[in-house]
């Protein structure tokens, strides 16, 4: 059985959805840097950065980094459809996963914690907001690029819903990206909504983002 360390509404939702698609038995342990509890000490032993998601594998080793976890699960569960069989399609899915991790997910960290990335910004709220605004604009531009480079056929992962769909649907939830895409890249926006309502994925999204 896998153990997934994560938090409701966080990036761990993508891995949770992947485990659901793979029909992989797992248990969820809720903890995070911003919501530390007794389980946070366990998390630090597995991942010194204290980042979520962190996945404890069946052999007792740990994996971190969302894209890497999704790739591993796709390889460990080849029938899940998380990674496409076709070599060319798989190459683009891997490219898309790393694109989101490097360009979109990374921007969220700056928006959430601008003081970590600019010396002297701790006590300067105006400077922090300028950093957030600039990073948010860049994030939205990255999502436009993603939409142009990675169209759905009919899913972002190819013929079946897969890892790239899950990561895109989760990371686009933050910092106004969905609203921006609705206005500027409506086709991708519609694909993201379709991903969320997939029968295997919908319960995971409903748990992480309960309907109002």
Q: Are residues 118 and 177 in the same domain?
A: yes
Structure tokens at 200: 């295997």
φ/ψ of 30, rounded to 5, equals -85, 120
Mean pLDDT of 72-82: 98
In tens, the pLDDT along 109-142 reads: 999 999 999 999 999 999 999 999 999 999 999 9
- Average predicted confidence (pLDDT) for the chain: 97
Domain range for 154: 87-198
Q: Are residues 92 and 184 in the same domain?
A: yes
Cα gap 95→7, rounded to integer Å? 26
Domain boundary among 27, 57, 80: 80
Rg (CA), the chain: 17
Please check the confidence at residue 37 and state whether its pLDDT lies above 90: yes
Q: What is the CATH number of the domain that holds 16?
A: 3.40.30.10
Q: What is the CATH number of the domain that holds 154?
A: 1.20.1050
Q: Are residues 176 and 98 in the same domain?
A: yes
Give me the percent of the chain exceeding a pLDDT of 90. Answer: 98
Q: Are residues 108 and 75 in the same domain?
A: no
Domain boundary among 80, 115, 134: 80
Please check the confidence at residue 160 and state whether its pLDDT lies above 90: yes
In tens, the pLDDT along 9-21 reads: 999 999 999 999 9
25 domain-assigned: yes
Q: Which of 69, 73, 97, 72 is nearest to 5 (CA)?
A: 69
- Whole-structure pTM value: 0.96
207 domain-assigned: no
Structure tokens at 82: 């998380």
Helix axes 177-184, 186-196, angle to 10 degrees: 130
Give me the percent of the chain exceeding a pLDDT of 70. Answer: 100
Domain boundary among 56, 80, 104: 80
Q: Are residues 44 and 144 in the same domain?
A: no
Alpha-carbon separation of residue 101 from 67, 108, 159, 184 (angstroms): 7, 10, 23, 21
Cα gap 64→120, rounded to integer Å? 30
Cα gap 62→69, rounded to integer Å? 10
Please check the confidence at residue 212 and state whether its pLDDT lies above 90: no
Mean pLDDT of 56-74: 97
Mean pLDDT of 86-114: 97
Count of the separate structural domains present in the chain: 2
Q: Are residues 40 and 119 in the same domain?
A: no
């Amino acid at each position: 059985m896998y153990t997934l360390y994560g938090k409701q509404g966080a990036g761990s939702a993508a891995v949770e959805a992947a485990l659901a698609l793979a029909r992989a038995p797992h248990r969820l342990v809720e903890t995070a840097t911003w919501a530390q509890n007794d389980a946070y000490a366990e998390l630090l032993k597995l991942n010194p950065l204290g980042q979520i998601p962190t996945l404890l594998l069946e052999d007792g080793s740990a994996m971190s980094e969302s894209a890497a976890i999704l790739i591993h699960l796709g390889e460990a569960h080849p029938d899940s459809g998380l990674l496409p069989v076709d070599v060319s399609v798989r190459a683009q899915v891997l490219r898309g996963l790393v694109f989101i991790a490097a360009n979109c997910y990374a921007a969220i960290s700056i928006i959430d914690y601008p003081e970590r990335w600019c010396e002297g910004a701790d006590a300067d709220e105006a400077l922090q907001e300028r950093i957030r605004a600039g990073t948010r604009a860049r994030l939205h531009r990255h999502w436009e690029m993603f939409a142009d480079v990675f169209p759905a056929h009919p899913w972002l992962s190819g013929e079946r819903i897969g890892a790239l769909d899950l990561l895109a649907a989760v990371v686009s939830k933050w910092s106004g990206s969905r609203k921006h895409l609705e206005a500027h890249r409506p086709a991708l926006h519609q694909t993201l909504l379709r991903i969320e309502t997939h029968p295997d994925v919908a319960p995971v999204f409903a748990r992480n983002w309960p309907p109002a």
